[in-house]
Amino acid sequence: MFNRGDKGHQGFTLVELALVLVIIGLLITGVLKGEALIQNAKVKKVVNQKESLTAAFYAFYDKYNQYPGDTNVAPTGSAYTGNGNGQVTGNERWYLFEHLVRASIINGSYDGNANSVPVNAYGSWMRIEYVAALSANCVSINAIPFDVAEELDRKYDDGVYNTGSIRSNTDYSNQAAKLMYWRM
């Protein structure tokens, strides 16, 4: 603040107010850019997690000629077997990660139970399972924010929640978190 001399009034000059507003604007812009960077990093992490799971799934198939979880001849040390029909269904989706660990394809302490699956970038589960609507084994990713689900669908598929190789449990206009199914 500065003193206006003979009148005894104090206040800010227009230059000082403009400078304060510019600084506030820069701070807000920096915070918003930081949030966008974090969001973009999470989106990329989800895509990388999906790609890693897909690669592990097919590496197991190349090694054993059956899908992990679904195989009726489990890797050494595995307590679980599937039915060998080519579809990862029911409890097979939990066995899958234990099979991948026992086959030395991924690291982790997955034990073949429902509480033993990877966590996605948004803090909920990921798994591979057969999805009848897509007639394929898919990576299922839970609790994806609606805007992220829509972005992924637009970027990697057709942008429509119930068609294509990426699907969501509800329309993207519904702002609830989504369960996404991504064909491998």
**β-bridge partners, 119:** 125
Token pair 């990329």 in the structure block, residue: 44
Q: What is the pLDDT, as a whole number, of residue 64?
A: 95
Q: What is the pLDDT, as a whole number, of residue 72?
A: 93
**Domain coordinates in residue numbering, the chain:** 13-183
Strands (E), the chain: 2-3, 10-11, 126-131, 136-144, 166-168, 178-183
Which amino acid makes up residue 136? A
* Per-residue confidence band for 10, with pLDDT thresholds at 50, 70 and 90: confident
For residue 93, give both structure tokens. 């989706």
**β-bridge partners, 11:** 2
Predicted confidence (pLDDT) per residue in 92-137, tens digit: 999 999 999 999 999 988 888 888 899 999 999 999 999 999 999 9
Predicted confidence (pLDDT) per residue in 39-96, tens digit: 888 999 999 999 999 999 999 999 999 999 999 988 899 989 999 999 999 999 999 9
Q: If you write DSSP's letter for every residue of 154-171 in order, what string do you get?
A: HHHS-S-TTSSSEEESS-
For residue 27, pLDDT over 90 is answered with no
Determine whether 177 is exposed, middle or buried from the number of CB atoms within 10 Å of its CB (0-12, 13-18, 19+). middle
CA distance 37 to 42: 9
Predicted confidence (pLDDT) per residue in 139-166, tens digit: 999 999 999 999 999 999 999 999 999 9
* Per-residue confidence band for 18, with pLDDT thresholds at 50, 70 and 90: confident
